[in-house]
């Protein structure tokens, strides 16, 4: 080896090493970021045939119910009791009664990671979009009642980001947001933990932002928002020209 | 020219692939400017050797200085949101081309002068033989 050639050889070795490392770096793939979601990839059209047979079954049940009520009306003794039961069922569906049952508790909190470790400041914060997607996922998984920080979700409940807080039916909440749901706990947990699903995306940024627990018994207060409708009315006469959209 | 630098390059690549250290994607620009700085220094070393003024301490200080400066400028660019890695790359690639062309010139000139000298020596030897006869 001529004088100094060992020096050039050493430098060339270093260059080779760097090239190999750079090659590896460009071969590494970035994990998908937030907007990608597995939920989009599972379109599920209801089967028209099974939907039709379900509706037919419901017609049968309603006709039988009508007959029973007519019979009761003719006797008038048990009518008020039956009406009350029917009313209670309707109120339960609308979230106007207290409810209790098993389910899950999900806590979403802002990331405590230093800002430098997050792709952007926004990613470390729980947004209304996260809340909306979690609640949508819960309803989809068969949740029967939901509260957000103790506030019961009713049929018209909305979730909005206003400044630094999330507004749920006029009440303001900052993180941590606690979402409780009544439903089959295993189903709810499975749906929330869907790979690539809503929680997965948040956990990818910071696992500490999400805390999910199964609960044997929840007890929720009733929906306390407004129930008055000013424009929607129940038609006096059912007709054939109903809005089917 | 000896094959040692080329062998060392292959050894380096093999070593890097063997180690397989995962490098975050954000480090890509730094690796890029470091590779270019290294290549530039190696070609600069070739050129110095050919011109007969190669000095290992100058060579190594140049290598380390170039690497540090390239990374520093790139980091500054990251900091102020300006793509200084690109600027550094342009400069190094220009220098690599300059060094290559100068090395090529030197190599060809050396070769031509060696050929001329060999012809002249042959001529001298032939004439000496002639004068003997």
ipTM associated with this complex:
0.71
- pLDDT at site A139: 92
Residue of B nearest to A30 (CA): B25
Across the interface, whether the CB atoms of B16 and A18 are under 8 A apart is answered yes
Residue A83, chain B, CB below 8 Å: the answer is no
Q: What rounded mean pLDDT belongs to chain A?
A: 79
Nearest to A97 by CA among A232, A227, A234, A233: A227
- pLDDT at site A36: 43
Number of domains in chain B: 1
Q: Examine residue B64 and state whether it is found in any structural domain, yes or no.
A: yes
Name every chain A residue with its beta carbon within 8 A of the beta carbon of B41.
Answer: 11
Cα–Cα dist B129/A154, whole Å = 117
Low-confidence ranges of chain B (pLDDT < 70): 1, 133
**Hunting for tokens 């050129």 — which residue is that?**
B47
- pLDDT at site B90: 92
User: Which stretches within chain B are classed as H helix?
Assistant: 4-19, 28-50, 56-80, 84-132
Beta carbons of A120 and A241 less than 8 angstroms apart = no
% of chain A with per-residue pLDDT over 90:
11
Q: Assess whether pLDDT exceeds 50 at residue A38.
A: no
The tens digit of pLDDT for each residue in A150-205 reads: 888 888 888 888 877 888 877 788 878 899 999 999 999 998 888 888 888 888 88
Model confidence at A240, in pLDDT bands (50, 70, 90)? low
Name the residue ranges covered by the structural domains of chain A: 46-94, 100-220
The 3-class SS string of chain A reads CCCCHHHHHHHHHHHHHHHHHHHHHHHCCCCCCCCCCHHHHCCCCCCHHHHHHHHHHHHHHHHHHHHHHHHHHHHCCCHHHHHHHHHHHHHHHHCCCCEEEEEEEEEECCCCCCHHHCCCHHHHCCCHHHHHHHHHHHHHCCCCEEEECCEECCCCCCEEEECCEEEECCEEECCCEEEEEECCHHHHHHHHCCCCCHHHHHHHHCHHHEEEEEEEEEEECCCCCCCCCCCCCCCCCCCCCCCCC
Q: Examine residue B103 and state whether it is found in any structural domain, yes or no.
A: yes
Residue A174, chain B, CB below 8 Å: the answer is no
Q: Examine residue B13 and state whether it is found in any structural domain, yes or no.
A: no
Q: Examine residue B3 and state whether it is found in any structural domain, yes or no.
A: no
Q: Examine residue B14 and state whether it is found in any structural domain, yes or no.
A: no
Q: Examine residue B105 and state whether it is found in any structural domain, yes or no.
A: yes
Pull the structure tokens for residue A104. Answer: 């899950």
The pTM (predicted TM-score) of the whole model is 0.46
Q: Examine residue B23 and state whether it is found in any structural domain, yes or no.
A: no
Name every chain B residue with its beta carbon within 8 A of the beta carbon of A1.
Answer: 2, 4
Name every chain A residue with its beta carbon within 8 A of the beta carbon of B6.
Answer: 12
Which domain, by its residues, includes B45?
A: 29-132
- pLDDT at site A115: 75
Cα–Cα dist A146/A90, whole Å = 17
Cα–Cα dist A103/A192, whole Å = 12
- pLDDT at site A32: 46
Across the interface, whether the CB atoms of B12 and A6 are under 8 A apart is answered no
- pLDDT at site A146: 92
What CATH number was assigned to the domain covering residues A100-220? 3.30.70.1880
Q: Examine residue B19 and state whether it is found in any structural domain, yes or no.
A: no
Cα–Cα dist B72/A148, whole Å = 49
Cα–Cα dist A193/A144, whole Å = 19
Polymer length in residues for chain A: 245
Q: Assess whether pLDDT exceeds 90 at residue A103.
A: yes
Beta carbons of A181 and A107 less than 8 angstroms apart = no
% of chain A with per-residue pLDDT over 70:
84
């Amino acid at each position: 080896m001529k004088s100094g050639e060992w020096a050039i050889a050493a430098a060339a070795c270093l260059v080779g090493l760097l090239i190999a490392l750079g090659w590896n770096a460009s071969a590494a793939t970035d994990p998908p970021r937030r907007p990608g979601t597995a939920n989009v990839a599972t379109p599920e059209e209801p089967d028209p045939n099974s939907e039709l047979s379900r509706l037919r079954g419901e017609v049968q049940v309603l006709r039988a119910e009508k007959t029973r009520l007519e019979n009761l009306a003719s006797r008038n003794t048990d009518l008020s009791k039956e009406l009350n039961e029917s009313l209670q069922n309707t109120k339960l569906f609308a979230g106007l009664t207290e409810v209790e049952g098993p389910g899950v508790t999900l806590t979403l909190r802002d990331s405590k990671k230093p800002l430098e470790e997050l792709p952007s400041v926004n990613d470390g914060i729980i947004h209304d979009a996260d809340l909306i997607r979690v609640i949508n996922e819960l309803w989809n998984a068969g949740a029967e009642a939901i509260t957000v920080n103790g506030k019961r979700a009713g049929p018209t409940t909305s979730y909005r980001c206003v400044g630094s807080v999330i507004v749920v039916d006029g009440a303001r909440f900052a993180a941590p947001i606690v979402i409780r749901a009544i439903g089959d706990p295993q189903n709810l947990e499975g749906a929330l933990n869907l790979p690539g699903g809503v929680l997965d995306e948040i956990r990818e940024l910071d696992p500490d932002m999400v805390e999910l627990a199964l609960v044997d018994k929840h007890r929720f207060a009733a929906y306390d928002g407004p129930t008055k409708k000013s424009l929607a009315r129940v038609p006096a006469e059912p007709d054939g020209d109903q809005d089917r959209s | 020219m000896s094959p040692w630098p080329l062998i060392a390059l292959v050894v380096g690549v093999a070593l890097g692939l063997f180690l397989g250290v995962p490098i975050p994607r954000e480090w890509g620009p730094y690796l890029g400017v470091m590779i270019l700085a290294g290549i530039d220094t190696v070609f600069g070393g070739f050129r110095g050797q050919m011109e007969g003024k190669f000095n290992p301490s100058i060579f190594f200080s140049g290598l380390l200085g170039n690497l540090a400066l390239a990374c520093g400028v790139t980091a500054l660019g990251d900091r102020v949101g300006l793509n200084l890695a690109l600027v550094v790359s342009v400069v190094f690639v220009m220098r690599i081309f300059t060094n290559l062309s100068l090395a090529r010139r030197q190599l060809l000139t050396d070769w031509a002068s060696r050929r001329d000298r060999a012809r002249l020596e042959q001529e001298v030897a032939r004439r000496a033989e002639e004068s003997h006869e």
